[in-house]
Structure formats: structure tokens, C-alpha cells
A and B are shown apart, each in its own frame.
Chain A
Amino acid sequence: MLSAGLTLIFSMMGVLNFAHASFYMLGAYVAYTITGWIGFWPALLLAPLVVGGLGALFERGALRRVHKFGHVPELLITFGLSYVALEVVQLIWGRTALPFSPPPSLQGAAFTLVHAPQQSLSLVWGDAPAALCAAASCSKFPLTRAFMMLVALFMLLALWLLLTRTRIGLVIQAALTHPEMVEALGHNVPRVFMLVFGSGCALAALAGVIGGITFVTEPAMAVIVGSIIFVVVVIGGVGSLAGAFVASILIGLLQTLPLTVDASLAKVFQLGPETFGYPLLKLTLAQVAPILPYLLMVLILIFRPKGLLGTRED
């Protein structure tokens, strides 16, 4: 769900931002600092604004300068930025993980699945009482994840409405495809680009704030989400918003579901260690889970090069 929000920006910006994951990380760190000053809820609002501002500055100072050289230098400069951002974060906040915990109102469980011995599954909103859990097995669904889903859905809806139903969205979409025409109509295209880039970074930072409280806030967090985003974009189809959405859900399922399955090909066919290729066959599905998205990407490229919902084939 998180990468849904992230990828949407990719398609919207037209410029492929290699440092997108770095802005995600920056969001988490800035929010951590602001939380220390004035609390979490203002930070949730302010950190994206700060990071979005930084993104807009970067667009204005650096990206615009190389824009005329074409796509590859644009990609390269964001790639360089990802190095710098990583080092700056380590410089300011240190190399170890930060204790960035969710605020009290988001701690605990959204609902608890209670599996008592006598009855079937039942669902309790919030934390189940300890007495109940002592008698039955409980599995909690953390509130932060529910919050993450909520924000992601809200973000998607808002973005979709903004892009398709408002005048601003119209100008943005037109500026991406026909910049000269939009310029001729009297819009300031460079400023549109700057704002789009800035808001893209802000959304990444918003995802980063929520990712920071849900997972760990550490310098490696950009690397972890970094490459999967690209896979999502390729699978969904470059330039397709809906495709990115579908692909991110698909990838999310693909990464989490196999973790529960502990079967391997060797087990299913009951092969012994002497069979050819046994090391490959004995891997359980849970072990293979990390590479499944990439495998899916390769398959998609072979059989449907434009991606799931893509329209462009280049």
C-alpha cells in the first residue's frame, strides 16, 4: 500500500526520480525531529511540507539545469542526490536506527482476531482484554498498519480527484505531454514542474513518516524500498497511474502471502538430495518470496512488454 502512494508520483512527474526513496527516508527523519519538538500530529503535516520544499528547491537549482540535456542526465542527477541524501542523513542523525515510535493514539491493535478453543474466529475491536487472550490465541492487527492503509487510500483518492477532476490536474497533465502548448496558453510551465516535483517529494515524505513509525527509521530504509518501486512501475506500465496501483497491490500480496507457505518443489515431488538441481528445488516458497517481484517483472517484460495497464510501448 505504501508503494502505491510512492509510485503514483513517479508516473505523474514525468521525470523519473531516482532519489524518491531518499525523500521517503528524509520524511521519516524530519518527522522524527519535529515529533521531538511539537508532537507527532503536527509532524505528520509539517514533515511532508518541509521535504516537499526541499524537493522543489532541488528541482529549481539542479534538475532544471540538466533538463535540457535529456532524460539520462536527469536520472543521473537524482542518482547522485540519493548518495548525498544518504550521507547527509547519516551526518545529522547518525548511522544507527532511531527510536521513532508511533504516538500513543496509534499504538496497540486496530482489531484482534480471537481464536478460542471452543468457538470459531471472532473479532474484537481494539486490544482484546488480557483475560480473553489468556484463554484463546489472539493475533493483533496493529493500528499503524490500518492507519497506513487509510492514508494511502485517502491519498490515492485525493490524487485521482485532483488530476482528473480539477483544472490544476488538467494543466499538470497537459504540461507533461505538451509543454510548449501550455506555455503558449500562459501557464508558467517550469513552475508547474517545480510544484509537481515538490508535491511528489512531499507525498513520498508522507509515506516516509508513516513508514518510519511502522517499520524502522534507519539509514538503510531508502535502499529497502528503493528498487521495489521501480519494479512496481515497470509491472504496472510506465506512465500509468492505475497500473501502478494494481501492481503495488499485486506486489504487496506476492511479498507477504508466500511467507506463510513452507513448501518447496523438492517436498512436493518428494525428491532426494541426489536429484539434479536439488539446491534450487529445496528452497521453500517462503525463502523465494523476496525475488518473486523481480521474477514477475521479467515475466511481464517477456509476455507483455508494456506492463499490465500501460499504453505506451517504447
Chain B
Amino acid sequence: MAAVMPSPPPAPSSAAAAAAGPFPTARATASDRRRAPRGSTYHFKPYNVGRWLVWGAYAAALIVAPLLWTSSLAQTMLSQMGIAIIACLSYNLLLGQGGMLSFGHAVYSGLGAYLAIHTLNLVSGGQLALPVSLVPIVGGLAGLGFAALFGWVSTKKSGTPFAMITLGLGELIWSMSLMLPEFFGGEGGISGNRVVGQPLLGISFGPQIQVYYLIAVYCFICTGLLYAFTRTPLGRMLNAVRDNPERVQFIGYDTQWVRFLAFLISGFFAGVSGGLSALNFEIVTAEVVGAARSGAYLLFTFLGGATFFFGPIIGAVLMVVALVLLSELTKAWLLYLGLTFLFMVMYAPGGFAALIMMNLRVAAFGKLRQLWTSYLALGVTGLTVLLGGSAMVEMLYHLQLNEALGPEMRYLGATLNAKSLDAWFGAGFVLLTGLALFEVARRQYKREWDEVQADIDKEIKRRESL
């Protein structure tokens, strides 16, 4: 039983905010306040400044970003990021919150994209009266429908069998996409035109910036809804199913049903992202349902951090940056990506989000100053390793792919001869020195990190005992 507290008169601003608050907790405050005069328990909930700040900053970032980066490349990338954020968040509903490792998530976003583009073509053909801005919802409903169909089969199992089944289903849809050119458009895909009908308030969705803001609005609403979902009883149950399915079954819940519901919701949001991508690119090709796309969702959701709600957002931004910029920069980008992923799984299973949160915790206790020299050492030695290693990789690739151009190649502004022993020896030397120094720095860092963590734990205990 919670302690009965005297009910202080709530600040008027708090009451207004609570009434307007979109989150369940805010509503709880309002209902508690109503009950308070009748003399029941009153849980004092302060006005949650931090939450409004975070969501406000998120919205502001979405609004301001295209004004800061105005080039058309940046706008396309930002649009793709918005789409990827929805897709990765919906994927994380399965992976992070439900513990379901799906290898076929592209099926739902891809089929959503297909139905959205067909709807768009119906709209432009005059057979259907639907505003263009609602086309992504159609994609979402399509994702929901297919998730209901396939999810019923795949959520019968959990863990590893689930992963295999989603992989098989992904392959099924992928092979069907080549078999049914009437629906999937074969190799060329299906194209559409998003500028349909009379412009409303000057918005025709012709310019990229208007599409971006449509995506941004969808992105913000979907993020909000998905976050709100984590606060619902179903969302909590999903976490319980992930952590301890036996116990959940024991208290009378059907784990399969909980997984299925989560799968449905995830499918819906994946479909929305697919519908947005159909609007954005105005073309949908068969690769949107392919295994490579599913793999990318998995990879980047994990890299961003599956254990935190905001992890996939980082992952989605990274995904677009990697797919658009890194693949331009080097041909071996998949190798770097794979290696990063391997090391991440081994050493930081929480992804970037966890790394950030751990360091925020250290900073909150004012201990970051003890660590910054180690970080510097780690960074410098790590860069050395990267420099040597990537020089070798690039030289190998150069030998493999650009044989005709001669052995000379450009690498970070320097000219390397990929066939000379000098360059190989130099790169190998840099790599080995870097590795040795990195190991030294890593041990030092590990020692300091453990010390700091122990200090923080002690500090927490001390504060608790006060």
C-alpha cells in the first residue's frame, strides 16, 4: 500500500498539461486528481518536464532538419531516414520488446509498399477517391493483413524456430514476387505518380520537401504510438513473454496470442513505412520484399540498440547513412559493416543506445573526467587499426576489381601502389602497431571503467541509505 500523502493543490499549468497530455501516465494523473477530494490515496506525479523536452526536441529535429540541410541529396536521405525510423521501430517491437528474431520483416513493409502503389495508381486512374496523404495507411492495413495471415503461422513458435520460419516465409514471398509479374511488376517493378488531383492548401506532394514533411508527420505519430504501446498492458505483457514465457503461461496468459498481437501491430507499422516509401520513390521493385532488406532491418536495429526504445531510431539513421554514403565511399562497406556487427554482438550487445546510456550514467555521476584520456587513447589506437586494416582491404579490392586501371590507387588522399611490397608492409605495420596499442589501451580502459562502475554502485548504495 502506498503511503497516503496530503493532497497539495496542483499547479494550474500541471493540470492543463495533464488534461492535454497524450500519454497514459498523464491521464492517470488527471484521474488521480479527480479522486483526490474523496479522500482516497493520491500519488503525486510531478509534471514530467523531461518527457516533454525529449518529444519536443524530437519534433523540432524533424521540422528543422530539412531547413539545415537543403541540398536535394540531403532531403532524399532525410525522407529515407524517416521511413527507416518507422520500419526499424516496428521491427524492434518484435526483436527488442518481444524477443522475436524475424528474418522476414521486409515482407510486411514490402507488401505494404506494393498495395500502396496499386492504391495510388487506382487513385490516379480515378477509380478511387482517397487523398494521397492517406495512402500510407492503406499500406499499413496491407501490412496488418499479411501479418495476420503469416503471423498466425509463424508466432506458433518462438526463439530459433520462429527465426527459421520467418526466413522461409520471406523466401516464399520473394520467389512469388518473380512468379507473379501482374502484381509485383517483375524486374522493372511498378511505378506510380504521387501528384494526383487538386492541390490542397498548395500541397501537391510534387516537391520532395512536401513529401518529407508528410513522412515526418507520420514518423512522429508512429513513434508516439509505438512508445505509447510500450506503456499499455499488452506491451508490458509482451516484455514478460520475452523474459519468462513459462511464468506468463502459468498466470493464465496465452503467450502465442500475445506474440501474435505484437506481430500484428508490428506488421501495421511496417506497412505504413512501406506505403511511405512507395510515395517517396514512386516506384516499388521486387527487392523491397527481399532477404537483403530484412537483413538490413535486423542489422541496423541491433546496431542502434534493441534494448532501448530509441535505439532503432539511431539504427535507422545509421542505415540510411551507410546505405547511401558508405557504399559510395568504399566497395568493401559490407565487410566493414559485418565486422562492426560481429564486434557489437560480442562486446556491446545493447548497441549504440546502450553505449550512450552507459556513458550518460557515468557523466551523471561526474566520472566522465576520469575516463576521457582512456577514450582518447582508445579512439586514436582504434583509428590506427582502422587505417592499416582498411588500407589492406582497399588494396585487395583494388587488385580484384580495378585490375585494368593499373596498380596505383588513391587512398585517403595518398597514392598507394597496390602491387608494391612497400605499401603492403606499411599497411601491415600500421595495423599491427595499432592492434598492439589498442589492446594496451583497452586493458587500461577496462580497468578504469570497472573502477568507475564500482564507484557508481557504491554511490547509489550510499544515496539509498540516506
A interface residues (Cβ-Cβ under 8 A, vs B): 16, 62, 65-66, 69, 71-73, 75-77, 79-81, 83-84, 86-88, 90-92, 94-95, 223, 227-228, 230-231, 233-234, 238, 279-280, 283, 287-288, 290-291, 294-295, 297-298, 301-302, 305, 314
Contact = CB atoms under 8 A, between A and B. Distances in A.
B198 interface: no
Contacts of A287: 179
B339 A84 contact: yes
Contacts of A81: 338, 342
B367 interface: no
Contacts of B302: 76
A247 to B, nearest CB: 12
A80 B338 contact: yes
Interface string B141-179: 000000000000110111111011101111110011001
B61 interface: no
B293 to A, nearest CB: 14
B335 A234 contact: no
Interface of B: 99, 101, 153-154, 156-161, 163-165, 167-172, 175-176, 179-180, 182-183, 291, 295, 298-299, 302, 332, 334-335, 337-339, 341-342, 345-346, 349, 393, 396-397, 400-401
A238 B158 CA distance: 12
6 contacts: A72-B101, A81-B342, A230-B167, A295-B172, A301-B153, A302-B153
Contacts of B161: 234, 238, 314
A294 B339 CA distance: 31
B160 A75 contact: yes
A45 to B, nearest CB: 28
Contacts of A75: 101, 160, 163
A221 to B, nearest CB: 15
A298 B396 CA distance: 44
A79 B298 contact: yes
A234 B171 CA distance: 14
Contacts of B168: 227, 230-231, 234, 294, 297-298
Contact of B342 (A16, A62, A294): A62
A283 B179 contact: yes
B101 A76 contact: yes
A62 to B, nearest CB: 6
B9 to A, nearest CB: 50
Given A91-B332, A283-B179, A291-B176, 5 more contacts: A65-B346, A69-B349, A290-B175, A298-B172, A301-B154
Contacts of B179: 283, 287-288, 290-291
Nearest to B342: A80
A82 B176 CA distance: 25
Given A66-B345, A288-B179, A301 B172 contact: no
A94 B299 CA distance: 25
A8 B168 CA distance: 18
Nearest to B163: A75
A233 B160 CA distance: 11
Q: Which of B164, B341, B346 has most chain A Cβ within 10 Å?
A: B164
Nearest to B172: A294
A90 B333 CA distance: 12
Given A71-B159, A279-B182, A91 B397 contact: yes
Contacts of B170: 227
A224 to B, nearest CB: 11
Contact of A66 (B183, B332, B349, B393): B349
A80 B341 CA distance: 6
A86 B156 contact: no
B157 A305 contact: yes
A238 B157 CA distance: 11
Contacts of B334: 83, 86-87
A301 B172 CA distance: 14
A279 B180 contact: yes
| Of listed B159, B183, B291, B396, residue having the most chain A CB within 10 A | B159
Contact of A87 (B167, B176, B182, B335): B335
B165 A301 contact: yes
A77 B180 contact: no
Contact of A83 (B99, B165, B172, B341): B341
Contact of B346 (A77, A94, A302): A77
A92 B396 CA distance: 8
A314 B249 CA distance: 13
Given A66-B349, A87-B335, A91-B397, A71 B160 contact: yes
A294 B101 contact: no
B338 A87 contact: yes
A83 B345 CA distance: 14
Nearest to B335: A87
A76 B154 CA distance: 19
B338 A294 contact: no
A236 to B, nearest CB: 11
Given A71-B159, A314-B159, A84 B342 contact: yes
A72 B400 CA distance: 36
Contacts of B342: 62, 77, 80-81, 84
Contacts of A80: 299, 338, 341-342, 345
A277 to B, nearest CB: 10
A314 B175 contact: no
A142 B406 CA distance: 42
Nearest to B392: A91
A79 B154 CA distance: 20
B99 A72 contact: yes
A171 B179 CA distance: 48
Nearest to A305: B156
Contact of A91 (B164, B165, B183, B335): B335
A95 B400 contact: yes
A141 to B, nearest CB: 28
